[in-house]
Structure 1
Amino acid sequence: MSVEQKVIDILQLVLKHQDKPAQEITLGIPLYGEGLGLDSLCVAELSALLEKTFKKDPYTEGVLPETVADIVAFYGDGSA
């Protein structure tokens, strides 16, 4: 499974856990506000799940991704 698909699956899980409506997740969609609408609880869960899956996450590394593509890019070539 690609990094992109893993990230999308994690985001779908976070949305489900937070009782947010399911939606199509694309690389360009914003994580916050009018995009996926992630709040601080969602971001905390997202960070934990990314850490569990990839052994590191952008938030812990001091990176604040704005889009799904930013998260995917953080993991680079998929070797994470």
Structure 2
Amino acid sequence: MPVDAPDAPASVVRRVIATLRREALLGQAVYGGVPGHPAAITLSHFAALSAALDGDRGARPYLVTHGVVEVECSDVWSGADIDHR
């Protein structure tokens, strides 16, 4: 969870983590279908994801390529971060 989303409710984090417990190795919150934070990544992906990251581009390309489960969260939060208000 990035620091520029300090008002994110714990319910969003719990929802994305619950997806890992039920069905996936990668989960990402989406807000009205728009990808956002948080993302949850199991240990089995850490090394490959770390190698794939390049600068400030983020993990989205890796997540999509490796079958991320998108978790709709717009009913509990806007997904806004303080850099983009």
TM-score for the superposition, normalised by structure 1: 0.34
Q: Please report the TM-score for the alignment, with normalisation by the length of structure 2.
A: 0.33
Q: Quick check: which one's strand share is greater?
A: 2
RCO greater where, 1 or 2, for CA within 8 Å and sep 6 or more? 2
